[in-house]
Amino acid sequence: MEVTLSMDPLFLAWSYFRRRKFQKCSDLCTKVLEDNPFDQAAWSLKTRALTEMVYIDEVEVDQEGIAEIMLDESAIAQVARPGTSLRLPGTSQGGGPTPAIRPVTQSGRPITGFVRPSTQSGRPGTMEQAIRTPRTANTARPVTSASGRFVRLGTASMLTHQDGPFINMSRLNLAKYAQKPNLSKALFEYIFHHENDVKNALDLAALATEHAQFKDWWWKVQLGKCYYRLGLYREAEKQFRSALSHQEFVDTYLYLAKVYQRLDQPITALNLFKQGLDHFPGEVTLLTGIARIHEEMNNITSATEYYKDVLKQDNTNVEAIACIGSNHFYTDQPEIALRFYRRLLQMGVYNCQLYNNLGLCCFYAQQYDMTLSSFERALALVSSDDEQADIWYNIGHVAVGIGDLTLAYQCFKLALAFNNDNAEAYNNLAVLELRKGRIEQAKAFLQTAASLSPHMYEPHFNFSVLSDKVGDLQSSYVAAQKSEDAFPEHVDTQKMLKTLRQHFAVL
Amino acid sequence: MSSVPVEMKDSAMSTSKWLDAHYDPVANLYTFSSCITLADLHGDGENKLVVGDLGTGTGNMKLKVYRGTGLLSENTLLDLPTGLVSFLMDQHEPRTPAIAVASGPFIYIYKNLRPYFKFTLPTLEVNPLEQDVWSQARGDMIDPLTLKEMLESIRDKADIPLSVRSLRFLILEPQEMESYVNLYKEQPIRRQVVLSYSHTHMCKQLYNYYMHRDPKENMADDDAVSCLVIGTESQDVYILDPEAFTILSKMSLPSVPTLMDVNGQFDIEFRIIVACRNGNIYILRRDSQKPKYCIELSSHPVGLVRMGKNVVVGCAQETMQSFTQKGKKLWTTYLPAPVTTMALLELPARGFQAILVALANCEVHVYRDKNVVSTIKTPDVVTSICFGRYGREEGTLIMTTKGGGLIVKILKRTAVFDDRDSISGPPIAQSIRLNVPKKTKLYVDQTMRERENAVAMHRAFQMDLSRLRLAAARAYVKALESSLTPMSASLTEPLKMNAVVQGLGPSFKLTLNIQNTAACRPVMNLVISFLFDENLYSMRTAFFKIPLLVPGLNYLIDTFVECLSDKGISDIIKVFVLREGKSTPLLTAHINMPVSEGLALS
């Protein structure tokens, strides 16, 4: 014990910091600072420790808020050319699977194999839609930019400390700190991440870059980050570009690509990534970035190519494996998808989504003995009601596949019990009700499904078929038109419309 | 058309037979093919475009004359124009044609763009019952509402239709009736041949009546004096003398004429081809008062063009059919979209005739018999089309669009319409390979495994299935017992509910959609209650009654929730629908509340 006491507390704190025990490090630094409030080393270490506690990777977090989506004034061309915009969902050029095979998100993009911010959200078409969608903590759906994820992940500044905040922002002389390069960087990160005070961070960065005679690329990147947060994308672009001319750096490429994506210039972003790959051949993050853009633009084939490149460099990349797997699943090769998901399992990914996918793959690859046990395991691993609903929904699909409609009925109802907004379950339940001849029920369910997710064509088409059977041709026609809007290439809808039009035209 | 890819435009330009002369998307012209014509109004050898503009449908109807790209003159029309023709009415030099505009029960004749004569169609017999009712109204013996009821009963039963005045009265709102009766009750009722209004004037088929010129006397060329031929809502066709404006001949039809084509000479022999609202085409000849031939179509005619001795009809069923003048069917062709209007393309100098068909998919096709010889893409749906000499240019195509635009195109003098036959051989779809994924080796291996261990696999599956059925049934029963599902399973109250949250916070609007899915039984005595964390949320009314639920209707019930926390956390709110006096809920909905962002901002 004597020995530990005599150990230099700052060294110990440093050691804690390196072992990522930030709370202990911070406590120790506080003690050092109590003895000597002007110890710059301890002060700097404490800021870093506090920052690390709430640090989130700026590159990965990208969530467009309602304000950005709906009040976008920079949109010039309302109808962009096909293949040049992320906002135009229906422009598939890669010959990807149709919505009949691969389900789509609200914005009309095929669902991905890997959930990350912005994969589920898409861009809602109307304000009504944007406001109505549930925006809970566990669904990555639109939030307002100022709060949302930044608040949730970096709540540090909101929780009050018993003896006031560590650094009082209002009393900070930024100009003084900007002169000291060894302190200013740590201070900047603290302000940016811990305090989440972009305006002051920007001031500090501006002063510091001036002090460095506009030659320090690091400060330029930080300036760009601040501008990006403030929504000044063109300024951010300028800073990142300038930083790149000083120093080629992967992070800077990623930030710049993010700016271009936000400006809805996916082609520029792709070119930038390729430029980056010239300097950093085989860089996984750049390859992933390319793949993601291709995926968002509905070009699934190229996306898969790039994910394969990612796997060549890093064969444990979960995102790449999951995306390739889901692509194989939806292109009618469940046996290969099964391989990829098994690989994930071997790598130690152990959650209900994976078991659910494994179960589905086994079922469609006719490996029946492992199907249901996978689902059972998935049910045992469930952590939220939404996940449980999804799994029951998929079991319902299997039940429909083996013809056990009672089980299917129960499963879909359970899916609805756990998640009231499951439009797919409503739709399937309606079909089962229709088979039982309960038309009123089926009608009500289909209407609900259609109102819950207007992007799905199935409820509209089913409603059209139902109305046609009942003899209500007008409703049938209206529903068929809605179905056509959601999925223009759907052959059955086209047939339906054709027969209906004939009905109307014939004397 | 800014979004058209470059390649497409290029290929279209190189093969196009048409020059773009003029396009004004905001010309504010709303008209149909029957109200548009080209005529040399001043005898100076330059043809002008004369248009009867429908305006807004209720006002702003105008007779417009265009020269070149500019508007030459405008005359206000009193009523909706239903037909417009130019015709020569006398032998005087210079030979300037007159314009006849049909609207309401009148035909207005304009000469030199000045009103010249008004022809009134003969009156018809008025229903005595109707006359009776109106005379009672004049004596203030009945109030407007009774008048309305009585007129309605007459309309439903009597053989003689109501007059225009009564029909207009019937469509009025109750508060407007009084003044309408006071205004008109003193005047005698007249039932004129023509109904005055067609409210659905945007719809092509509903013209009230039609006019057409008919070459008269012994000259068959364009310089001849012509008679006016008029189709009326009273199912008659009249032929008028062009100088005296007396009725030369009257023929009756079994239905109301909508489209008409006339050729021949009045004194010798003529044919009038009339498409009627009952979907039949009748062919009238000089010597008979009744139609000579009848063509029964399978759907409504929307365009009628005579090409030489044949009649080409565009039908509502997206088809075009050709008949001889004796009613024999020649051919049918299927179109890619519904027809909006049709016209004849005639180049007498080159002896070329074709049919212009405007389609609802913003295209105009030129057909020579069954074959498309040219396709014109337009920026909007074309509603009226006219081909002929405009200015001094022989082959000019004039189109007006649904949005009120005016398009003028000139046929290139070098344009050749080659008569290629429609594509023969197998359809293109036959040679497209389906993208069927290959059978992978893995798949073959797996099927081998399946074949070898079939029994074991089946047993495992069946056992798992039984277990799963049990698990599902357990969960289902649990859900039913606690009424977790958003639809009730009880037979007496089949209800369905879903909830939507709107808002950014701290105030949210909860909208509950409740529907009674029973076939015919209403549900009553229901209450709604909410369960939520009171530290986090507050609700003004957490318990309220809901009204009687009529089956099949979706009831929207709104309530407001206030979020009290500023920590950026959210919770679930449970909604229960209960029967009055019972504590077990009929159904439950869980609402995942979004994070409140209003407080976090402030």
Integer Cα distance of A359 and A367 in angstroms:
9
Q: Tokens for B2, please give them.
A: 């800014």
Q: Are B38 and B388 in contact (CB under 8 A)?
A: yes
Residue whose C-alpha is closest to residue A91's, from A82, A99, A100:
A82
Residues B36 and B162 grouped into a single domain: no
Residues B245 and B356 grouped into a single domain: yes
**Closest chain A C-alpha to B534 CA, distance in angstroms:** 19
Contacts of B133 (CB under 8 A, 6+ apart): B142, B147, B150, B151, B154
| Run of H or E residues at A324 | helix A318-330
Give the mean pLDDT of B433-445: 80
Domain harbouring B505, CATH code: 2.60.40.10
pLDDT (tens digit per residue) in B275-321: 888 889 998 888 778 888 888 988 888 888 888 888 999 988 888 99
Residues B499, A332: C-beta atoms closer than 8 Å: no
A190: DSSP letter = I
Predicted local confidence at residue A398, as pLDDT: 92
Q: Tokens for B16, please give them.
A: 């196009």
∠ Cα A288 A294 A295 (to 5°):
85
**Closest chain A C-alpha to B86 CA, distance in angstroms:** 34
B229 CB burial (10 A radius; 0-12, 13-18, 19+): buried
Question: Which residues of chain B are within 8 Å of residue A421 when distances are taken between CB atoms?
Answer: 498
Neighbours of A227 (CB within 10 A): 22
Q: Are A476 and A468 in contact (CB under 8 A)?
A: yes
Q: Are B253 and B234 in contact (CB under 8 A)?
A: no
Residues B31 and B64 grouped into a single domain: yes
Length in residues, chain A: 507
Predicted local confidence at residue A9, as pLDDT: 86
Contacts of B478 (CB under 8 A, 6+ apart): B484
In a domain, B485, yes or no: no
- Give the nearest chain A residue to B443 (CA atoms): A335
For testing contact with chain A, the best of B439, B501, B592 (most A CBs within 10 A): B592
| Run of H or E residues at B175 | helix B174-184
Of B133, B160, B192, the one marking the end of a domain is B192
- CB environment B151-181: b (16+ within 10 A), e (fewer): beebeeeeeebbbbbbeebeeeeeeebeeeb
User: In terms of CATH, what superfamily is A333-420?
Assistant: Tetratricopeptide repeat domain (1.25.40.10)
Residues 128-147 of A with CB under 8 A from B: 131-132, 134-137, 139, 143-144, 146-147
Counting as low any pLDDT under 70, the low residues of chain A are 1-6, 60-100, 104-113, 115-165
Q: Which residue has the tokens 């899915």?
A: B517
Q: Does residue B52 or residue A114 have the better pLDDT?
A: B52
- Give the nearest chain A residue to B517 (CA atoms): A441
Integer Cα distance of B508 and B563 in angstroms:
8
Residues B442, A368: C-beta atoms closer than 8 Å: no
pLDDT of B104 strictly over 60: yes
Neighbours of B288 (CB within 10 A): 10
Predicted local confidence at residue A236, as pLDDT: 93
Neighbours of B233 (CB within 10 A): 22
Q: Decide if B473 touches A, using CB distance below 8 A.
A: yes
Integer Cα distance of B304 and A40 in angstroms:
93
Percent of chain B with pLDDT over 90: 12
pTM: 0.73
Domains A333-420 and A428-507 share a fold: yes
Question: Which residues of chain A are within 8 Å of residue B473 when distances are taken between CB atoms?
Answer: 410
Give the mean pLDDT of B33-57: 86
∠ Cα B480 B482 B487 (to 5°):
50
pLDDT of B601 strictly over 70: no
Question: Reduced to 3 states, what is the DSSP secondary structure of residue B231?
Answer: strand
Q: Decide if A506 touches B, using CB distance below 8 A.
A: yes
Residues B204 and B181 grouped into a single domain: no
Residues B280 and B375 grouped into a single domain: yes
Residues B335 and B307 grouped into a single domain: yes
Q: Decide if B337 touches A, using CB distance below 8 A.
A: no
Question: Reduced to 3 states, what is the DSSP secondary structure of residue B360?
Answer: coil
> For B322-453, where are the alpha helices, taking DSSP H only?
441-452
Confidence of residue B407 (pLDDT cuts 50, 70, 90): very high
Residues B228 and B342 grouped into a single domain: yes
Residues 341-370 of A with CB under 8 A from B: 365-369
B419 CB burial (10 A radius; 0-12, 13-18, 19+): exposed
Contacts of B493 (CB under 8 A, 6+ apart): B516, B518, B523, B526, B579, B586
In a domain, B443, yes or no: no
Of B192, B216, B235, the one marking the end of a domain is B192
In a domain, B441, yes or no: no
Integer Cα distance of B120 and B118 in angstroms:
6
For testing contact with chain B, the best of A152, A361, A369 (most B CBs within 10 A): A369
Question: Which residues of chain B are within 8 Å of residue A415 when distances are taken between CB atoms?
Answer: none
Residue whose C-alpha is closest to residue A371's, from A346, A406, A347, A397:
A397
Residue whose C-alpha is closest to residue B302's, from B341, B336, B358, B356:
B341
Q: Decide if B90 touches A, using CB distance below 8 A.
A: no
Question: Which residues of chain A are within 8 Å of residue B471 when distances are taken between CB atoms?
Answer: 376, 379
| Run of H or E residues at A346 | helix A334-346
Q: Are B261 and B255 in contact (CB under 8 A)?
A: no
Question: Which residues of chain B are within 8 Å of residue A410 when distances are taken between CB atoms?
Answer: 472-473, 475-476
Number of domains in chain B: 3
Integer Cα distance of A91 and A296 in angstroms:
10
**Closest chain B C-alpha to A502 CA, distance in angstroms:** 6
- Give the nearest chain B residue to A334 (CA atoms): B443
**Closest chain A C-alpha to B425 CA, distance in angstroms:** 24
∠ Cα B495 B501 B503 (to 5°):
155
**Closest chain B C-alpha to A217 CA, distance in angstroms:** 33
Q: Does residue A272 or residue B242 have the better pLDDT?
A: A272
Residues B169 and B54 grouped into a single domain: no
Residues B292 and B385 grouped into a single domain: yes
Residue whose C-alpha is closest to residue B224's, from B119, B310, B95, B59:
B95
pLDDT (tens digit per residue) in B346-372: 888 888 889 999 999 999 999 888 888
For residue B392, CA distances in Å to A70, B48, B346, B415 come to 53, 10, 16, 18
Residues A136, B570: C-beta atoms closer than 8 Å: yes
Q: For residue B320, give its domain range.
A: 6-122+199-411
The CATH classification number of A428-507 equals 1.25.40.10
Q: Does residue B114 or residue B501 have the better pLDDT?
A: B114
Length in residues, chain B: 602
Residues B479, A421: C-beta atoms closer than 8 Å: no
**Closest chain B C-alpha to A280 CA, distance in angstroms:** 35
Integer Cα distance of B218 and B538 in angstroms:
93
pLDDT (tens digit per residue) in B474-525: 999 988 887 777 777 677 778 888 787 877 778 888 888 888 888 788 888 8
Q: Decide if B521 touches A, using CB distance below 8 A.
A: no
The domain locations on chain A are: 1-54, 333-420, 428-507
- Give the nearest chain A residue to B457 (CA atoms): A369
- Report CA A441 to chain centroid distance, whole Å: 36
Residues B28 and B160 grouped into a single domain: no
Q: Which residue has the tokens 């004429």?
A: B257
Domain harbouring B230, CATH code: 2.130.10.10
Predicted local confidence at residue A147, as pLDDT: 39
For testing contact with chain A, the best of B453, B517, B587 (most A CBs within 10 A): B517
pLDDT (tens digit per residue) in A213-238: 888 899 999 999 999 888 888 999 99
Residues B590, A385: C-beta atoms closer than 8 Å: yes
State the average pLDDT for chain B: 80
Residues B171 and B63 grouped into a single domain: no
**Closest chain A C-alpha to B390 CA, distance in angstroms:** 36
Q: Does residue A240 or residue B131 have the better pLDDT?
A: A240
Residue whose C-alpha is closest to residue B228's, from B216, B242, B218:
B242
Residues B151 and B61 grouped into a single domain: no
The string of DSSP letters for A202-250 reads HHHHHHHHHHTTT--HHHHHHHHHHHHHHT-HHHHHHHHHHHHHH---H
Helix axes A181-189, A198-211, angle to 10 degrees: 160
Neighbours of B388 (CB within 10 A): 20
Predicted local confidence at residue B129, as pLDDT: 80
Give the mean pLDDT of B426-435: 74
Of B133, B166, B192, the one marking the end of a domain is B192
For testing contact with chain B, the best of A150, A336, A372 (most B CBs within 10 A): A372
Integer Cα distance of B522 and B520 in angstroms:
7
pLDDT of B30 strictly over 60: yes
Closest by Cβ to B498, choosing from A417, A448, A506: A448
Predicted local confidence at residue B314, as pLDDT: 92
Q: Which residue has the tokens 């009084």?
A: B178
Predicted local confidence at residue A152, as pLDDT: 39
Predicted local confidence at residue A272, as pLDDT: 93
A51-56 long-range contacts, CB within 8 A, separation 24+: A51/A186, A51/A189, A51/A190, A51/A193, A51/A194, A52/A17, A52/A20, A52/A22, A53/A22, A53/A23, A53/A26, A53/A156, A53/A194, A54/A153, A54/A154, A54/A155, A54/A156, A54/A193, A54/A194, A55/A193, A56/A153, A56/A154, A56/A193
Residue whose C-alpha is closest to residue B511's, from A179, A347, A128, A238:
A128
